[in-house]
Amino acid sequence: MIERVVIDVDRARVVRLQMPPDPHRSSVCDDVECSGPFEDVEWSADGRQVAFLPTSRDHKEAHLRVADTDSGRVRQVLEEKVATYYESGNDAHNWRFLPASNEVIWFSERDNWGQLYLYDLQTGRLKNQITTGEGTSRSCSGWMRRTVSSTSAASARRRVAIRISFISIGSDSMGRT
């Protein structure tokens, strides 16, 4: 099990997040480091908040939480519970912490395909579904903070070949290009 901490490096101060230990898991692989750095962790630009995604050992539950990095206080934003196996993306997590616009981009296969959804960061309420249709949003590879537009590589299923198309889409699901 891992006990999450935030270290203030100038003061060498360790803040232990106020929550029980988490399984040694992430939503991308059976480890907390998959192909990049510490997986399922995103910082706010000012370093005052950190978002993270504890995942159950059997990958059936994931809980998106945000911690105050000074006090260690933690609050839950949203959770995903599935009967099979929750993976938030290929190679890297597919959710994005957007404190500047008070939003979260979330990945779910709840409509049978992997899609991106936009949530309110404060209330945890679903605002709208960002991507739709047949094909999985494989990665939320970029977004603009001001307009909160995401770019996803949507893989569309074909009989013979799998085509991966790059699309840019507004987070209100309008403006698909």
Ramachandran assignment for 135, one of left (phi > 0), alpha (psi -120 to 50 degrees), beta (any other): left
**Structure-block tokens of residue 146:** 């001001």
Q: State in angstroms the smallest separation of the CB of 59 from other proteins.
A: 15
* Closest CA relative to residue 51, chosen from 109, 95, 2, 110: 95
Q: Which of 129, 131, 67 is nearest to 99 (CA)?
A: 67
Nearer to other proteins, 97 or 117 (CB): 97
Contact criterion met (CB below 8 Å) for 139 and 94: yes
Cβ 103 vs Cβ 119: under 8 Å = yes
146 versus 159: smaller Cβ distance to other proteins:
146
Identify the residue whose tokens are 């995903």: 80
Q: Decide: is 33 part of the binding site for other proteins (CB under 8 A).
A: yes
Q: How far is the CB of 129 from other proteins (least distance, A)?
A: 29
Instruction: From 12-20, 89-97, 143-151, 165-173, give the range in contact with other proteins by CB under 8 A.
Output: 12-20
Type of residue found at 89: G
Name which position in 18, 30, 76, 176 contacts other proteins (CB under 8 A). Answer: 30
Decide: is 8 part of the binding site for other proteins (CB under 8 A): yes
Q: Which of 27, 55, 69, 108 lies at the binding interface for other proteins (CB under 8 A)?
A: 69
Size of the site for other proteins (CB under 8 A): 30
> Measured from the CB atom, is 45 or 161 closer to other proteins?
45
